[in-house]
Amino acid sequence: MTVRILVDADACPVKDEIYKVAWRHNVPVTIVSNSRLRVPDHPLIGGVVVGDAFDAADDWIAERSDPAAIVVTADILLADRCLKVGATVIAPTGKPFTANSIGGAIAVRAIMADLRAGGDVIGGPAPFSKTDRSRFLQALDTALVRLNR
């Protein structure tokens, strides 16, 4: 199996970082989105537009995930689907999703959804920071080194 990176790209703030790491490791990247996004004209970088059906990008990524895939997503439910088939999953903040952490992340997601549905005003995630970007670069590089062994 060929190591590759699958990106849930519509709201991904680290696409440029992904390209740089992929070029350095000579690893193909697929940018998956609901609408056309600009991607570099490079043989390792490809884009797939899945349309705007609910979860179309998630379904496309999950169906192509396997132990040789690194999936970049902030979507907890997509992360869970990809982990179940052995993919490595990293959030854009650099936080890895793991079999041990995903259950808690799903539970927190459900609690927050219930609070919002009840009309509670709760803050969103912290703003994306330089530290997040740096942590992501390190996590992606580490995952690629591990999978290419």
Q: Which amino acid is located at 38 in the chain?
A: R
Whether residue 127 is predicted with pLDDT greater than 90 in this model: the reply is: no
Q: Which of 71, 75, 63, 106 is nearest to 88 (CA)?
A: 71
Cβ count near 80 (within 10 Å): 18
Tens of pLDDT, residues 45-55: 999 999 888 88
| pTM of the entire predicted model | 0.86
With beta carbons less than 8 A apart as the criterion, state whether 85 and 20 touch. Answer: no
Answer yes or no: is pLDDT of 110 > 70.
no
pLDDT of residue 1: 75
Cβ–Cβ under 8 Å, residues 57 and 34? yes
User: Taking 80 as the threshold, does the pLDDT of residue 92 lie above it?
Assistant: yes
Burial class of residue 26, CB neighbours in 10 A (0-12, 13-18, 19+): exposed
More confident residue, 51 or 110: 51
Mean pLDDT score, 3-18:
94
Check residue 32 and give its pLDDT: 97
Q: What is the pLDDT of residue 106?
A: 62
* 70-97 mean pLDDT: 94
* CA atoms of 119 and 147, how far apart (whole Å): 44
If one looks up domain 4-147 in CATH, what number appears? 3.40.50
Residue located via tokens 């999950």: 62
Give φ, ψ of 136 to 5 degrees. Answer: -65, -50
Domain locations along the chain: 4-147
Summarize pLDDT for 17-68 with one digit per residue, the tens: 999 999 999 999 999 999 999 999 999 999 999 988 888 999 999 999 999 9
Q: Which of 20-24, 96-100, 105-109 has the lowest mean pLDDT?
A: 105-109
Work out the burial of residue 7: count CB atoms within 10 Å of its CB; fewer than 13 is exposed, 13-18 middle, 19 or more buried.
buried
Distances in Å between the alpha carbon of 78 and those of 102, 106, 122? Answer: 10, 11, 23
Provide mean pLDDT across the span 119-126. Answer: 68
